[in-house]
């Protein structure tokens, strides 16, 4: 049985050695997996200065170009550096099986994104924040509880009771979803092929 441990992005992801105003493609590591991101800097960006920085947390099933990218492109003009990134298994980031909505994995990715930001010369690592959107709001709040580097958390249309939210439309009880997920994990382990289940 062979399990792929890498996913090669179809589009090249590069680390922007010289950051410029606007959107900069970047990458960073999260628990041994390469994550793709876009770093947004103000239009009057000066690399010799230190800026407060915000990492963003995607809604379930979203990629960096969607809501996090939209908010980042607007908020940067208020003098912030923002990071929108694809979580493991999503978008241009590595990770397998693809499209895995794992709250605890997303929390670790968020904490590792703070580490990435703190390593940039243009970031004031005493002024780091997290912005969570939709279900990303719950992940953002959880990450901030266990990472003192996050000095503040902001949310947009936050969902904090994820089990209630995903069962409200589907009519499938949450414990049944967990059973289906466990069966899918077992099948993946035995066959090496992921089985995807409807989450909502």
80-134 pLDDT, tens digit per residue, is 999 999 999 999 999 988 988 899 999 999 999 999 999 999 999 999 999 999 9
162 or 46, which is more confident?
A: 46
Handedness of CA 107, 93, 73, 78 (dihedral sign): positive
CA 23 to chain centre: 17
- Would you call 27 helix, strand, or coil by DSSP? strand
- Of 107, 97, 108, the residue nearest 185 (C-alpha): 97
Contact between 26 and 18 under an 8 Å Cβ cutoff? The reply is no
pLDDT value of residue 16: 59
Pick the CATH number of 22-160 from 3.40.50.1820, 3.10.20.600, 3.10.20.740, 3.40.50.1110: 3.40.50.1820
pLDDT given for residue 198 in this prediction: 66
What residue ranges do the domains of the chain occupy?
22-160, 170-200
Q: Please state the pTM of the whole predicted model.
A: 0.84
Instruction: Quickly state the pLDDT bin for 56 (edges 50, 70, 90).
Output: very high
DSSP secondary structure code for residue 89 in this structure: T
Q: Is the dihedral of CA 7, 150, 122, 115 positive or negative?
A: negative
Lowest mean pLDDT among 20-24, 44-48, 88-92, 94-98: 94-98
Nearest to 85 by CA among 153, 122, 30, 125: 30
**pLDDT higher than threshold 50 for residue 3:** no
> Which value, to the nearest 10 degrees, does the dihedral of the CA atoms of residues 168, 85, 82, 22 take?
-120
What is the chain's alpha carbon radius of gyration, rounded to the nearest angstrom?
A: 17
**Backbone phi, then psi, for 147, in 5-degree steps?**
-140, 105
Choose among 78, 86, 134: nearest CA to 110: 86
What percent of the chain has pLDDT above 70?
86
């Amino acid at each position: 049985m062979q399990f792929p441990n890498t996913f090669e992005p179809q589009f090249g992801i590069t680390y922007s050695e010289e950051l410029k105003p606007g959107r900069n493609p970047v990458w960073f590591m999260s628990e041994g997996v390469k994550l793709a991101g876009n770093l947004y800097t103000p239009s009057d960006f000066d690399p010799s200065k230190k800026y407060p920085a915000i990492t963003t947390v995607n809604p379930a099933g979203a990629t960096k170009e969607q809501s996090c990218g939209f908010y980042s492109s607007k908020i940067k003009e208020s003098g912030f550096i923002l990071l929108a990134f694809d979580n493991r298994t999503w978008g241009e980031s590595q990770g397998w099986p693809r499209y895995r909505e794992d709250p605890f994995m997303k929390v670790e990715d968020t904490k590792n994104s703070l580490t990435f930001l703190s390593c940039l010369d243009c970031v004031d690592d005493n002024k780091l924040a997290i912005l969570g959107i939709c279900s990303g709001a719950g992940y953002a709040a959880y990450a901030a509880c266990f990472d003192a580097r996050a000095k503040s958390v902001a949310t947009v249309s936050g969902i904090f009771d994820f089990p209630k939210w995903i069962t409200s439309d589907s009519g499938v009880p949450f414990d049944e979803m967990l059973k289906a997920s466990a069966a899918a994990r077992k099948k993946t382990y035995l066959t090496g092929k992921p089985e995807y289940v409807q989450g909502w």
